[in-house]
């Protein structure tokens, strides 16, 4: 979110910003898919179903990424377009909300299991 705000206010140039953001895309997707694989192996079906729409979005977004010489989603030549920048910021806020809600739901589920199994 801060990275896109820096682009919007011209604190950082688009090439540097995209070079910073693009290497983070694959690890984010990989970690999310690894966590979902753990849900699958543990038989936690509701949490897996909760995560499937975001996995589908990640796969679709990566499949339709701009043509570049390296991996990543953000192209320095188009990121300064107002529509692209607003879409990236909206996507960032939605993902932040999803991950925060997920964190607290998983924390609650863990505490609930610890309390009910020890009694």
- The per-residue pLDDT for 107 is 96
The CA-CA-CA angle for residues 64, 77, 1, to 5°, reads 75
**Would you give the DSSP letter of residue 70?**
S
| Whether the Cβ atoms of residue 74 and residue 88 lie closer than 8 Å to each other | yes
Q: How far apart are CA 22 and CA 71, in angstroms?
A: 7
Per residue in 86-118, pLDDT (tens digit) is 888 899 899 999 999 999 999 999 999 899 987
pLDDT in tens, 31-89: 999 999 999 999 999 999 999 999 999 999 888 887 766 777 888 788 777 788 888 88
Residue 17 CA: distances (Å) to CA of 13, 71, 76, 101:
6, 14, 8, 28
User: For 66, which DSSP code?
Assistant: P
pLDDT band at residue 119 using 50, 70 and 90 as cut-offs: low
């Amino acid at each position: 979110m801060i990275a896109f705000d820096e682009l919007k206010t011209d604190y950082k140039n688009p090439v540097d910003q995209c070079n910073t953001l693009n290497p983070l895309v694959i690890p984010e997707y990989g970690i999310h898919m690894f966590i979902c694989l753990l849900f699958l192996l543990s038989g936690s079906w509701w949490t897996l179903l909760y995560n499937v729409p975001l996995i589908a979005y990640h796969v679709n977004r990566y499949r339709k990424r701009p043509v570049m010489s390296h991996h990543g989603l953000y192209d320095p030549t188009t990121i300064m377009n107002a529509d692209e920048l607003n879409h990236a910021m909206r996507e960032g806020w939605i993902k932040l909300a999803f991950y925060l809600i997920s964190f607290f739901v998983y924390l609650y589920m863990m505490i609930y299991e610890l309390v009910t199994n020890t009694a």
